Amino acid sequence: MSHILDIQIYYEDTDFSGVVYHANYLRYFERAREHILGADELVRLWRDEQKGFVVYKTTMSFKDGAVFGDIVEIRSSARLESEYRIVFAQRCHRKSDGRLLVDAEIEMVCIDGQKRPIPIPLGDRRHSVLST
């Protein structure tokens, strides 16, 4: 599975130097994962089944910075690392020139209502986090 999400860089995204503040890339990657998994499905999983996702581990490499006015592409792909872990390879590229800005790998686990790890819900395609 792969997915691309365009994000406009606003002034509020930047730090004093005019470059996107490093922590904002985590927000962009989170937004892209929400698009992949589907907000409605994430809400349904928690409400109906008490299943949710949490970040277990993140690795990020910063290559260059986006600036105010840029449009960036968040390119995401996911793989099931184990029955308990899903790994998202996420890259941020400047849309105008394709330059890689940030390279990240984000590992997530699924938890139940008591915050215990549980297998990633695969279910039928209608109710699968990997169906998109």
Could you report the per-residue pLDDT of 68-125, keeping only the tens digit for each? 999 999 999 999 999 999 999 999 999 999 999 999 999 999 999 999 999 998 754 4
How far is it, in rounded angstroms, from Cα 8 to Cα 68? 8
How far is it, in rounded angstroms, from Cα 87 to Cα 115? 19
| Contact present, 46 and 38 (Cβ < 8 Å) | no
Pairing of strands 71-80, 85-94: antiparallel
Please identify, in words, the CATH class of the domain defined by 2-127. alpha beta
Q: In the prediction, which pLDDT does 122 show?
A: 76
Tell me which residue of 28, 36, 25 sits closest to 102, measured CA to CA. Answer: 25
For residue 67, list its beta bridge partners: 19
Known catalytic membership, residue 15? yes
Give me the count of residues in the chain: 132
Could you report the per-residue pLDDT of 19-71, keeping only the tens digit for each? 999 999 999 999 999 999 899 999 999 999 999 999 999 999 999 999 999 99
In the set 6, 13, 15, 124, the catalytic residue is 15
